[in-house]
Structure 1
């Protein structure tokens, strides 16, 4: 049984999530101790339990310690099997983080998985649904087909959103994930969204216009669509990404919040994307940490804009469970299979 220290690095939920996915992929039993020791409320929260449930469902796993507030979990996976699955995270727990948890084993196995996930789609401390769809899944497309649709937005604090995902694996990991040169950016795309009650105040348009104003300095086409929809409570957000011919997209996002002007939300996302572009990175800092499990299997090397605590934590887990050896040289992350 492989022991994982949940207090490593920033001591958050990312260690548990990635450990579950890697364990299911490798068919290895793990024990995670000191879960979320770095948080003000340590132990398993509702969204982490749904991650355990999700990976357990696709792999027929046995889990001990899967209770709210538990700081230790033993996870013993079985064979990963395709099927249709539904998980309700509850309130505004992140649906994208739950989906992230199962991506590695599902993309590896030949077969088709369908997921319905209910909860938060655009909430703090997690990738927005549009980022996951337009950046993460686009980059992982060579390993299989992963499609994602936002059927209903879910914002903090009530959530109630709905993601529909289809993952068809089986392409295998026959080539490395290597991105060392920034792609040639042809355009900037984006989605600015808000609840229908905010339409009269033109919140989505103001987010998009503010982002567009800053991005025009690039001299590239900028196209940001505007979307209003029903949701359980007021909310808004914007996700931006690059469109490149020869490299993965770079992405950035921002969420609306009480007391923050819509224009500032748009500027925040645009500034974040401009920072990624100015860095000369081939993959943005958030994509880099998400790619670690796949690099551990496929090999490869990526140049990113920053080495985050999440990246270091994911490397720690990948080395423990998958036996990969990573090297960080400046802003370049390399793994040898």
Structure 2
């Protein structure tokens, strides 16, 4: 299928339904439809594939949306190549969900993080599945980077947490996490244009159903690279065993760099699945450390993985100007900005800033300054105390 078909969008003037084609950015469209209250119709989902229609993990995501909303109308055609979604009210509350093991829990948690602050009741969600894989952000990155970013928008520390109860590696999973998030009436505007200098790097080397020495080998290899850049390095080891280790063997490393201004940048890698080429722990440690240094070089106040969350919260903030300095925009963020224009009529002013122009920036690549005026999104479901 040609790439341009994946981005095709039109609007039905009679019914105020946004129409898209293709499977790309499926999650973005449903999240923004839920927040904006606009219905969305997605057609031609993998129409020309040998196995057309929705994948199991996408169907699982739709079921999760149905659980945290009240009154949603979801229609899927017989072949699964067409979806109509009319969002209901965000209810929240206590939910349990067995996530499909084609994708990790990060795929579902990223959506919950966007929606949870605007629910009627605080969310307490227990999700089961794969906690760490090579595609989606791990539960460690969401706990150490995503949640601190939410606090910058006025979401209270009290009741905001992510606990890893069990770890699960692909392909069989077996992990379990507890996610809690309070609700807010309005989001605070953001002015975050000074990333600061990196002052320390922390990390977690984890292992599931492997030798306890594996995590230590990862730590030694990663520190061998990072200590050439910074002296303040500490990487914890988290060796799971028994019931807490899930159903498949695996290991990996998650790193977080913290700056003097409170910005967090992340990088992570995990081992290959059974049946693929075996992963050497030392290679994984060194490669993850190099990814961390690359993310630091890209710079900005948020890393490339959290750009879309930051711009969403900026757009939904009070009717005031928000500013954010980032590294080069990822393709995912570029499309997210297009979708924000479709659903909320919000457009960002984008200014590129080269490293030569910035006297304070002694190293690193070009930066992007994002500026927008918030729409004043208000959580009308929040009970007035």
TM-score normalised to the size of structure 1? 0.89
Deviations 1:101-129 (A, max 9, x none): 23223212463111111111111211111
CA separation of 1:307/1:43 partners in 2, compared to 1, >3 Å: closer, same or farther?
Answer: farther
Does structure 2 retain, via aligned residues, the 8 Å contact 1:52–1:66?
Answer: no
Point out the more displaced range, 51-60 or 130-139.
Answer: 51-60
Give 1:36 shift: 6.0
CA offsets per residue over residues 196-232 of structure 1, 9 Å max, x none? 3332xx2111111111111112233111000111221
| 238-247 or 36-45, which deviates more | 36-45
Gaps of 5+ in 1: none
Q: What secondary structure does 1:246 align onto? A: coil
Unaligned runs of 5+ in 2: 1-15, 353-366, 375-385
CA contact (8 A) 1:122 1:255 kept: yes
Is the Cα contact below 8 Å between 1:288 and 1:302 reproduced in 2? no
Number of the residue aligned with 1:256: 271
Bigger drift between 103-112 and 121-130 goes to 103-112
Counting matched residue pairs gives 328
Determine which of 161, 166, 174 is the counterpart of 2:188. Answer: 174
Where 1:242 maps in the other structure, the secondary structure is strand
Shift of 1:190: 0.4
**Contact kept in structure 2, 1:241 and 1:249, CA below 8 Å:** yes
Matched position secondary structure for 2:323: strand
Per the alignment, residue 194 of structure 1 pairs with 207
CA deviation after TM superposition for structure 1 residue 26, in Å: 2.1
Q: Does 1:134 align with 2:144?
A: yes
Partner of 2:94: 84
Task: Name which of structure 1's ranges 17-26 and 156-165 shifts more when overlaid on structure 2.
Answer: 17-26
Are residues 336 and 284 of structure 1, via their aligned partners in 2, closer, same or farther at CA, if it must alter by over 3 Å? Answer: same
Q: Which residue of 1 aligns with 2:252?
A: 237
Moved more, 127-136 or 178-187: 178-187
Offset, 1:88: 0.6
- Cα distance in 2 for partners of 1:279, 1:206 equals 28
Contact kept? 2:298, 2:328, Cα under 8 Å? no
What's the offset of the Cα at 1:273? 1.2
C-alpha change, 1:244 and 1:198, in structure 2 (3 Å) is same
Q: 1:217 to 1:162 in 2, by over 3 A?
A: same
**Which string of whole-angstrom CA distances, capped at 9 and with x for unpartnered residues, describes residues 112-161 of structure 1?**
11111111111121111111111111111244243111111121111121
Quick one: distance in 1 between partners of 2:220 and 2:50? Answer: 37
Does residue 311 of structure 2 align to residue 311 of structure 1?
no
Find the counterpart in structure 2 of residue 158 from structure 1.
172
Counting helix residues as a fraction of each chain, which structure ranks higher? 1
CA distance 1:37–1:336, change in 2 (3 Å)? farther
CA contact (8 A) 1:91 1:160 kept: no
- Alignment check: 8 A CA contact 1:94 1:123 kept: yes
> TM (normalized to structure 2)?
0.78
Give the stretch that moved more between structures: 288-297 or 31-40: 31-40
Instruction: Report which of the two structures shows the higher radius of gyration computed on alpha carbons.
Output: 2
Mapped pair 1:22 → 2:35: no
